[in-house]
A and B are shown apart, each in its own frame.
Chain A
Amino acid sequence: MILARVVGTVVSSHKAPKIEGIRFLLLEKIDPVTLKGKNDFVVSMDSVGAGTGEIVFYVSGSSARFTDVTEGKPTDSAIIAIVDNIEKDGSFTYQKSQ
């Protein structure tokens, strides 16, 4: 799975059948140490209700279709987790501010 930050949403009204009512989020891959964006973006189906600014990780390829939200959908990317914290070598590089 790949770590990314939710940087926006993608709205599409004219789209393939069977994908109504699904949120598409714009994700930017991040470096887990510096949390800096890598200027590498992907559109991913949201299965956890992630909001803009949150750090998530997403699954790609056929495995993206194995969530309740994306099952049987033409997607190769699904957000499966909102990250609370990232620990590296004993210290936190990221902690979700609550």
Chain B
Amino acid sequence: MILGKVVGTIVSSTINDGIKGSRYLLVEKTDQYGKKLGDYLVALDIIGVANDELVMVTEGSPSRETPETVSKPVDALIVGIVDLIDENETVVYSK
């Protein structure tokens, strides 16, 4: 998974994803300290994430391994909101 911060939303009325009520968030990739890296992707949100949260994003076909996304055209899925990251026994990020 990669780390990223939710920085916005993408609205699209012409969509062919086969998912009812799909919600797409703009995610900016970050390092483990939550520092933004200026690289963005669009990720499907099925767990309900607020703006500015640090999240884990799964990329590629494993994105289809949930009931909502099985056999759906998804390659980036938010799988969790990060509460805390520690590195070498030191907390480097906390919500």
Contact = CB atoms under 8 A, between A and B. Distances in A.
Contacts, number: 104
Contacts of A61: 60-61, 75
Given A31-B40, A86-B26, A63 B64 contact: yes
A70 B9 CA distance: 26
A48 B63 CA distance: 21
Interface in A50-98: 57, 59-70, 78, 80-90, 93
A57 B10 contact: yes
A79 to B, nearest CB: 8
Contacts of A93: 8
Nearest to A30: B40
A47 interface: yes
Interface size range of chain B in the complex: 20 to 34
A30 to B, nearest CB: 9
A1 B75 contact: yes
A82 B12 contact: yes
Contacts of A90: 51
Interface of B: 7-18, 24, 26, 40-44, 51, 60-61, 63-64, 71-76
